[in-house]
Structure 1
Amino acid sequence: MSADPFGTQRLREAVLSAWSASPTRFREDANAEEDLRLGAYKDRLLVELAQNAADAASFGGALRLSIVDNELRVANTGTPLDADGVAALASLRASAKRDTGTVGQFGVGFSAVLSVSDEPEVVSKTGSVRFSAQRTREIPELSKHVAERSGQVPVLRLVWPSDATVVEGFDTEVRLPLRPEIDPEALLAGFREQAPDLLLALPGLASIEVDGSKWTSTDAGDTVVLTGPEGVTRWMLRRASGKLSDTAGLGLETSPEWTVCWAVPVSDSGVPVPLAEDVLHAPTPTDERLSLPARLIASLPIEPSRRRVMSGPAVNEVLAEAAKLYPSLVFGITEMHRTALVPVPGFPRSDVDSLLREKMIAELRTQAWLPGVTESLTPASARVLEIPSDDLADLLSDVVPNLAAAKLAEPEHAHALAALEISRLRAPEIVAAVTGIDQQPDWWRRLYAAIAPFAENDSTIRDNLSGLPVPLVDGRTLPGPRGTLLADEPEFLSDLDVPGLRLVHPDAVHPLLERLGARHAGASELLDSLQEAVERSVADASAGLIVSGLAHAVLGLVGQAGGRPWLKSLALPDVEGDWRPADELAVPGSRFLAVLAEDSPLGLLDPEFAERWSADVLSAVGVLTGFAVIVDEEPIGPEHDLADEDEWWSFGEEPKRVVAVRDLDLVADDKWPDALRLLALEPATWRALQEPGGYTAWWISRYAALDGRAPRQWRTANASELIGLYDPLPIDLGDELAAAAGVRTSLSIKDASDAVDLLDRLGDPERNVPHGVSLRAHTALAGSVDPSELDAPERVRVLSGDAVQADDCVVLDAPWLLAVLPPERVVAALDDDVAEQLAELLDLPLASEAAGDVTGGDLVPWAELGAVVVAAELLGFDLPLEGVIVHDQLTADGQHVHWWVDRQSRIHCEDTPDGLARALAWASDRWIDRHVIHAILDNPDPRTVLS
């Protein structure tokens, strides 16, 4: 017989006595074992054996599992088997676990061995025991019971001593001969899967070996490192312990201790690897399913089956302590990975899962663990951006309190934030948060830049940004970009302060604004938007407003967009420090200043201001660098502020365009020669001076002064047809410039003033006017102007060459009348056809109106006059059909004449070469050949014509 150090015989006798005294007790024990084997402890073999090993070791224990001769052997280190342990093994309802809450070595869970063996044996350094279904069936007094249950008997109620010895290096070994239906390899495979979790749940164990595969646990403070065949796994831990309160409802004399441990897998760098599915460990796995990201290992009151938590105050208290501990686990994770440990919303896996999640979320919401832009935040007060932008978060951190770090807006954090009920800061809330705040323009640009990448690809975000504030150059901030202007030339606009102008401050300009409705403004468009401000700038300056920013902005834009007529109103500083319209200022050092009158109203542009801008830019806004030229391609009236413009506008035909030099009236009288030379030097002013019908030449010709007279009162030296009428210009300007300025080069009458001037000169007795000049002048005057526009002259130039009183004078309208009129009474033109118009202009009668008539004579056909026929043949013209009335001696008005035309238009002449020649020339419309005809009639020989 084996030694019996644990008194197994006494234990057997007690059990057999109980079965004999109460036959139902046998059935109850058998049924209880079957329930444990098939129900509560099914699939918990390794869990229960590992728990026993951990209880025995307390710390640093080792557990080894192997198959030897179809026997599962589970060896462990730690406290060896004792009498209490054997008694606990042989009792289905008793346990060696104390009511203080400490854990004993063996408990009811040992019945899990029945899932694989009917002959379990426990071998220890202090002694060994075994259980046997076969030996129990062989007991004679149990034969009736055995027969009733078809051979099924309780296994763990009767214990026998064993002489087996424990394997070297271990203190206790459980040996389980496997029933035939048990697959040893499948059993070991299951153990391998459970080994790492058991090491984590049972801190008393330091290693578990399964058939040569070994897992070890190294506890380094808050981290446990599990090393096994698959590699190394790190778990971050947080532990807490305490005693249950008096209200726990356990009915114990002393309050049991509780322990809580949270564990989460982490990478080598400390990044958590959250769990998706797990079970509650108490401390070994239960059937309470959890959906938490970390594992909870807690000493909770559980049912005897160790599968379910017992409901009651104690469970609630321990779970509440676990929830309080959980944030400390979160704090151990780097900030941006903490949300991975937030239980995400979902259907609870169990009542425990639901209760835990509720308590954990409540704790997490009230502790400052959430990464913020400047400091850690409590989720209950935090706000998270919808847009994951670090730049945006930094900008808004001073505007939005309790703003979470921008990375939390990434999708991987969304479920955690939803579980924590953290307020989202979406585009409308961002707009509301920044509305009304005072920030520098570059702050706004950085805000736009931070939002832009997200608005670019999301129309909803763009729609919600319609009210995004926009700072303007005038200091205002508008609620929304729509209708504002974005400038291309921001360097010119930094100091621009124009009330009413919706121009975005250049330091705030960003492409996002254009996407949200701002209008892109090039230099030209922007310049046009400043027209109103320019036109009131002088008044604003007078009112004390600062207009320097406007001046620099306009000049900068003009360099890109060119000039505008209204820019002449731009207020610019003069040398006195006053602000004047640009077109009333001249650039210092301009050559044309030397030709202006001393009292000229033009000012001088401030020299320092002038140095900042090119002459072309200053000229484009109207500042005078020389004589300015006004160009208007579609004028509608005399509205260009030109001297005497109304008079010019009414002169001749209405102009189709205006190209005019301005400020001509400011030239000093004695500086006009120099002024004209300056006008000729500049292409623009020279073109204006030569503009057909243009204002410039018109005004200069009348109002400029050349040696004391207007240019139109002089003639050029080679203008021979004006000799006697106009004096030659005594100043050397060159014929081209002189002519352009209005100095006369020919006899021309453009208006009534020209006609009056010419008549005055013709009637001036001091002037010696050659006969040809006066005849041509009278011809030009005839029909040149409306006689109603001028008064008839008092004196006229007559054929004698004198200027006489006009009272007794007539206008020659027929050449035959010269024979009866004295030359000192006859005003004549080169062409008789204009006599009537000339007479009307001079208010004189025609000579024919006072002439007499002739009678007598014989009508002779021209063809009967032999010398006449010869003359016509030599000169090659046909003789008139009508004849001529020939007189031996012809008189008219009592005076002898050579030829005449009577009132019936009949031609009369004396039978003399002189009379016949004039009569034939007049009748044949060959008046210019009358002297040649006279010569032929006097000597009808071809040599007369040829010589």
Structure 2
Amino acid sequence: MNEVAGGAADPFGTVRLREAVLRAWRDSPTRFTEDTNSERDLRVGAYRDRLFVELAQNAADAAQLAGEPGRIRVSVVDGELRFANTGAPLDTRGVESLASLRASAKQGTVGRFGVGFAAVLTVTDEPRVVSTSGGVAFSAQRTREASGRDGDVPVLRLPFPVTEQPADGFATEVRLPLRESGQGLLDGLAKEIEDLLLALPWLAEAEVDGRKWTRSGEEIVEITSPTGQRRWLKHGVWAVPVDADGVPRPLEDDLLHAPTPTDEGLSLPARLIAEVPLEPSRRRVLPGAELTRALENAASEYVELVRAVKAEYRPILVPAAGFPQSAVDAQLKDLVYAALAQEPWLATVDGREVSGQQARVLDVDGLAPLLADVIPGLVRADPRLLKPVSAHVLGIGDVLEVLTGIDREPGWWRKLYAELAVAVESHALSANQLDGLPVPLSDGRTLPGVKGALLVDGSSELRELLSDVDVPGLRLVHPGAAHQLLELLGAKHADARQLLEAEQLQYAVEHSVADVQSGLDGMNLAGAVLRLVTDCGAQAPEWIGALALPAEDGWRRADELVLPTSPLLEVIDPEVFEPDGALSVLDEEFAEDWPTETLVAAKVLDSFAVVLDEEPHEPDHNLPDEEQWWDSFEQPPTTVVSIRDLDLVADDAWPDALRLIASRPETWQALHSPDGHAGWWLARYALLAGEAPGSWRLASATELAGLYDPVPDLDLSDDLLRAVGVRTGLDLEPAEDVTDLLQRLGDPQRTPTPGLVARAHAALVAAPVDIAEVDAPARVRAADGSVVEDAVVLDVPWVAAALDPAKIVVAPTEPERLAELLDVPVASSLKAEVDSAGEYVAWADLPALALAADQLGIAVPDGGVLLHDPLTVTVGGETAEVPWWSDDRLHAADTSEGLARAFAWASDHWAERYRITALLEDPAPRTLLN
């Protein structure tokens, strides 16, 4: 061990070091000045605010040399700032470094007592370093004394041995007598401790004026301070703050650490703590290839740092674009961008990793999970974060282009719409930008945009059924995809009623049978349409009857089907239900799935159905004999109300059929429609006891007795019988009625009264029929009630007295028409001749007639009459005596009866002939009173 004067120990050979320096100053006067200036430059320049940084570096190096984590303690004792550390104690090379302005004992460590120690001069000019191996002191005053110079001198060139020992538990302690109070220094150090512990991994604990900090962990470095704990994710040369869950808390403005802070500003989210070439001041980097290599390595390790973070947080570690904080910052950011662009680190939504330039990112948040299998390399992140690393940012237009033509489940589209709706509501997107958004339809197609799309309103059952319906032209949004966004974009809502009124649905229904026959499945359409009917309250348009439904013999139109439980099955002819018959029976299992009222509304027959057309244009309602009924009107009917399928009733089932009609209000009303088709047809073709209704009379219609028999007891009400044409009178409409009555009149087995015969003949004359359509009878009913084959219709009254009553048919009106119907001559057409001679007498010359005319108020006509006594005529070869006659002249027998009839005819008061006769026989006034 070396000794100095007085026997003091000098373990580090400070005498030799001082002599060498003093010799150098003597040999080169400028050297002293250079050392003085260099130290001043370090003190006021490079190391002016790096006191604790440099001391901490030395402490970390001592710990590394000792191979165990180090501790430091900083305090102010008796006006001295004392910085104690564990680790390797001071050695000779360390002292040599302390006394050199240009050298360092660094060997695998950072700044172990090198030029950085000059930082102590910012607070003192009497520093000491004491260690368990010995100590040295530096002093401005002792340097002046040794050099023989005054003024400013280099303090750290002449070491002097000291015998002090560091604080217990520490290997080395730097003691700095302070020019000013040290509390401010301690507070400043407290702010730097966390950064120093992070940058210097060999430091595990720091104590500052009783306050303690500790460092633990390697990949996750936890630094515990008096105020809490902070975590850093450490990977290679990079460190980034993280929270307890490992979520990074990116930095903003920072400094390059090498490993302690430099003046090189950085704007990366993480801290760079790296060995880079520095200027002697350790504040600035040295440009060149070595720096470039160090930054390239750092950029490569940055990718690994990012990958060490949970995938969802990685994008926030991309350096933000903007003006660089320094040239190093600009160079480093470019290198980091390039590395992130080329190397995989971004987690895609489908679980792979891609580089920045392979990544695709959406500018609409929330869509990424849905589009993962549509867009390769899709990453969920803020597009602004990934632009610097060459990620491809996809706008909504790009998304719509990608979506066009893809096939996805309806639920997938609904989720997509929900995310887009959020974007629209937050004004991240406008509705106009979504023009062309694909919309899945119930028929399996995808509509390029919402134009014409319909959102189904209704029950869940309806929406489910419509989800598989193919209705060409009806753009029903698949219920599984329906979302309010579509309404915002222009889709229209459609409820069950609106759908039932859709022309496209009508077309599909009207072609459904043909579609099923061509091999398509009709069950979906059938179910959907019936559900629409159900949701509409069992109201449906007429064309719904064309809907294909399953029947016992295949698929048929709904209006060609009868419910399995319908009473129609008991009244319709069984042949109707044979294959290819007019009707079939609805499949029983299918019928059980739907309410009867729904099936009936869909025109499936439960009973007789009503046909209603309030604006008919032609007889096209598929009613039996409809054209004939239509043509029976002078003007086309304004309304058609009838009952269909009447022609399918079995001949022996009409009573039951009529009771069924009467049991339903709608068919009962149709039957009673004025001039309606139903009543018209039933009167002609229904059978009651084997006969048409018009062949019978009501039991109460006794005035028809003798011509018509009372209807048998069929348990049918008089109202119903009357409605279907059972007679209450002699109304004759079709030619068949006229023919039937003519035959009845000519039937000798019938016994009509003379009055009924007269009324029947009047009805025949009044019947609105074309005589050409009526077959003439073989026999006719004469005036005396007898049935004869030869007769004449009395068309003039004077002939009646000349003919046998058994030869005369009386016509109350229009005898010529009756004669034509009966195909017999009129009486006036018979050859007749007056046989007797008569004497002409003027009416005015017959006082008795004048008196009778006066009493009756009849004016005596001009002219006169040929009087015969008796008056005989020959008619048809037979001679008869008659009371009066008319040919070219008027003849009368000279009797009261003859004169009265002739005068009544001449005066045009034929109805008064009987009173005139009475007055001629007894002109007394009482004659008119009796």
Which TM-score band (shorter chain)? Answer: 0.7 to 0.9
What is the alpha-carbon distance in structure 1 between the residues aligned to residue 916 and residue 597 of structure 2?
Answer: 68
CA displacement 1:150-205 (0-9 Å, x = unmatched):
x33333334444565544444433333444xx564433332222222112222233
Taking a change above 3 Å as real, the CA distance of residues 547 and 83 of structure 1, as seen in their structure-2 partners, is closer
Matched residue, 1:254:
none
Q: Please list, as runs of the form range in 1=range in 2, the aligned pairs for 1:638-649 lying within 5 A after superposition.
A: 638-649=619-630
Instruction: State which drifts further: 307-316 or 371-380.
Output: 371-380
Instruction: State which drifts further: 822-831 or 606-615.
Output: 822-831
Does structure 2 retain, via aligned residues, the 8 Å contact 1:573–1:580? yes
Instruction: State which drifts further: 884-893 or 159-168.
Output: 884-893
Q: Any idea what SS the aligned residue of 2:155 has?
A: coil
1:511 to partner: Cα distance: 4.6
1:306 to partner: Cα distance: 0.8
Q: Structure 2 counterpart of 1:665, which letter?
A: D
1:934 to partner: Cα distance: 5.0
- Counterpart check, 1:660 vs 2:635: no
1:835 to partner: Cα distance: 5.9
Q: Structure 2 counterpart of 1:616, which letter?
A: E
Does structure 1 retain, via aligned residues, the 8 Å contact 2:735–2:774? no
What is the alpha-carbon distance in structure 1 between the residues aligned to residue 102 and residue 343 of structure 2?
Answer: 45
Q: Any idea what SS the aligned residue of 2:513 has?
A: helix
Does structure 2 retain, via aligned residues, the 8 Å contact 1:46–1:191? yes
Aligned match of 1:84 in 77, 80, 93?
A: 93
Q: Any idea what SS the aligned residue of 1:599 has?
A: helix
Q: Structure 2 counterpart of 1:856, which letter?
A: V
Does structure 2 retain, via aligned residues, the 8 Å contact 1:913–1:938? no
What is the alpha-carbon distance in structure 2 between the residues aligned to residue 822 and residue 899 of structure 1?
Answer: 16
Q: Please list, as runs of the form range in 1=range in 2, the aligned pairs for 1:498-509 lying within 5 A after superposition.
A: 502-509=475-482
Matched residue, 2:306:
330
Does structure 2 retain, via aligned residues, the 8 Å contact 1:131–1:156? yes
CA displacement 1:692-716 (0-9 Å, x = unmatched):
1111221222222333332223222
Q: Structure 2 counterpart of 1:691, which letter?
A: S
Taking a change above 3 Å as real, the CA distance of residues 160 and 579 of structure 1, as seen in their structure-2 partners, is closer
- Counterpart check, 1:418 vs 2:418: no
1:550 to partner: Cα distance: 3.2
What is the alpha-carbon distance in structure 1 between the residues aligned to residue 52 and residue 848 of structure 2?
Answer: 164
CA displacement 1:477-522 (0-9 Å, x = unmatched):
5544543444441343465456666445555555555555555443
1:751 to partner: Cα distance: 4.4
What is the alpha-carbon distance in structure 2 between the residues aligned to residue 397 and residue 669 of structure 1?
Answer: 73
Matched residue, 2:611:
630
Matched residue, 1:534:
509
1:645 to partner: Cα distance: 1.6
Q: Structure 2 counterpart of 1:556, which letter?
A: R
Instruction: State which drifts further: 632-641 or 663-672.
Output: 663-672
1:275 to partner: Cα distance: 1.2
Q: Structure 1 counterpart of 2:191, which letter?
A: E
1:638 to partner: Cα distance: 1.5
Matched residue, 1:231:
228
Matched residue, 1:522:
495
What is the alpha-carbon distance in structure 2 between the residues aligned to residue 922 and residue 448 of structure 1?
Answer: 103
What is the alpha-carbon distance in structure 1 between the residues aligned to residue 339 and residue 530 of structure 2?
Answer: 65
Q: Please list, as runs of the form range in 1=range in 2, the aligned pairs for 1:530-609 lying within 5 A after superposition.
A: 530-561=505-536, 562-575=539-552, 577-600=553-576, 601=581, 602-609=583-590
Q: Any idea what SS the aligned residue of 2:346 has?
A: coil
- Counterpart check, 1:118 vs 2:110: no
Q: Structure 1 counterpart of 2:157, which letter?
A: R
Matched residue, 1:46:
52
- Counterpart check, 1:859 vs 2:844: yes
Q: Any idea what SS the aligned residue of 1:174 has?
A: strand
What is the alpha-carbon distance in structure 2 between the residues aligned to residue 771 and residue 270 of structure 1?
Answer: 122
Does structure 1 retain, via aligned residues, the 8 Å contact 2:138–2:158? yes
1:791 to partner: Cα distance: 6.2
1:44 to partner: Cα distance: 1.4
Q: Any idea what SS the aligned residue of 1:289 has?
A: strand
What is the alpha-carbon distance in structure 2 between the residues aligned to residue 110 and residue 589 of structure 1?
Answer: 111
CA displacement 1:444-472 (0-9 Å, x = unmatched):
55555555544565584755555555555
1:27 to partner: Cα distance: 2.6
CA displacement 1:807-827 (0-9 Å, x = unmatched):
743324xx6876677645654
Taking a change above 3 Å as real, the CA distance of residues 206 and 863 of structure 1, as seen in their structure-2 partners, is farther
Q: Any idea what SS the aligned residue of 2:113 has?
A: coil
What is the alpha-carbon distance in structure 2 between the residues aligned to residue 891 and residue 564 of structure 1?
Answer: 84
Instruction: State which drifts further: 736-745 or 674-683.
Output: 674-683
1:847 to partner: Cα distance: 5.5
1:284 to partner: Cα distance: 1.2
What is the alpha-carbon distance in structure 2 between the residues aligned to residue 729 and residue 707 of structure 1?
Answer: 8
TM-score w.r.t. the length of structure 2 is 0.83
Does structure 2 retain, via aligned residues, the 8 Å contact 1:672–1:704? yes
- Counterpart check, 1:750 vs 2:747: no
Does structure 1 retain, via aligned residues, the 8 Å contact 2:51–2:120? yes
Q: Please list, as runs of the form range in 1=range in 2, the aligned pairs for 1:171-190 lying within 5 A after superposition.
A: 171-179=171-179, 182=180, 184-190=182-188
Matched residue, 2:878:
none
- Counterpart check, 1:94 vs 2:103: yes
Q: Structure 2 counterpart of 1:88, which letter?
A: S
What is the alpha-carbon distance in structure 2 between the residues aligned to residue 539 and residue 205 of structure 1?
Answer: 89
Does structure 2 retain, via aligned residues, the 8 Å contact 1:57–1:79? yes
What is the alpha-carbon distance in structure 1 between the residues aligned to residue 775 and residue 828 of structure 2?
Answer: 18
Q: Once the two structures are aligned, what percentage of the paired residues are identical? A: 48
Does structure 1 retain, via aligned residues, the 8 Å contact 2:738–2:774? no
Matched residue, 1:692:
674
Q: Structure 2 counterpart of 1:51, which letter?
A: Q
Q: Please list, as runs of the form range in 1=range in 2, the aligned pairs for 1:34-433 lying within 5 A after superposition.
A: 34-58=40-64, 59-98=68-107, 101-103=108-110, 105-137=112-144, 141-142=148-149, 146=150, 151-162=151-162, 166-179=166-179, 182=180, 184-212=182-210, 214-239=211-236, 261-380=237-356, 381-389=358-366, 393-404=368-379, 408-409=380-381, 413-433=382-402
Instruction: State which drifts further: 731-740 or 635-644.
Output: 731-740
Q: How many residues were matched structurally? A: 892
Q: Any idea what SS the aligned residue of 1:780 has?
A: helix
1:586 to partner: Cα distance: 2.7
Q: Please list, as runs of the form range in 1=range in 2, the aligned pairs for 1:854-933 lying within 5 A after superposition.
A: 855-859=840-844, 879=857, 927=911
1:308 to partner: Cα distance: 0.9
What is the alpha-carbon distance in structure 1 between the residues aligned to residue 840 and residue 141 of structure 2?
Answer: 191
Taking a change above 3 Å as real, the CA distance of residues 936 and 559 of structure 1, as seen in their structure-2 partners, is farther
What is the alpha-carbon distance in structure 2 between the residues aligned to residue 936 and residue 235 of structure 1?
Answer: 151
Taking a change above 3 Å as real, the CA distance of residues 929 and 305 of structure 1, as seen in their structure-2 partners, is farther
Matched residue, 2:705:
723
Q: Any idea what SS the aligned residue of 1:745 has?
A: coil
1:307 to partner: Cα distance: 0.2
Instruction: State which drifts further: 436-445 or 317-326.
Output: 436-445
1:230 to partner: Cα distance: 2.2
1:285 to partner: Cα distance: 0.8
What is the alpha-carbon distance in structure 2 between the residues aligned to residue 7 and residue 459 of structure 1?
Answer: 76
CA displacement 1:791-819 (0-9 Å, x = unmatched):
6956654433345567743324xx68766
Does structure 1 retain, via aligned residues, the 8 Å contact 2:285–2:291? yes
Taking a change above 3 Å as real, the CA distance of residues 507 and 416 of structure 1, as seen in their structure-2 partners, is closer
Q: Any idea what SS the aligned residue of 1:265 has?
A: strand
CA displacement 1:497-548 (0-9 Å, x = unmatched):
5666644555555555555555544334444433333333333444444333
Where does structure 2 lack aligned partners over 5 or more consecutive residues? 874-880
Q: Any idea what SS the aligned residue of 1:530 has?
A: helix
What is the alpha-carbon distance in structure 2 between the residues aligned to residue 175 and residue 314 of structure 1?
Answer: 37
Taking a change above 3 Å as real, the CA distance of residues 548 and 596 of structure 1, as seen in their structure-2 partners, is same
CA displacement 1:631-661 (0-9 Å, x = unmatched):
2222211112222221111112422222222
Matched residue, 1:490:
463
Q: Any idea what SS the aligned residue of 1:156 has?
A: helix
Q: Please list, as runs of the form range in 1=range in 2, the aligned pairs for 1:430-509 lying within 5 A after superposition.
A: 430-449=399-418, 451-454=420-423, 460=429, 463=432, 465-487=434-456, 488=458, 489-493=462-466, 496=469, 502-509=475-482
What is the alpha-carbon distance in structure 2 between the residues aligned to residue 110 and residue 894 of structure 1?
Answer: 180
What is the alpha-carbon distance in structure 1 between the residues aligned to residue 47 and residue 92 of structure 2?
Answer: 24
Q: Alignment RMSD, CA only?
A: 4.3
Q: Any idea what SS the aligned residue of 1:659 has?
A: strand
What is the alpha-carbon distance in structure 2 between the residues aligned to residue 719 and residue 856 of structure 1?
Answer: 52
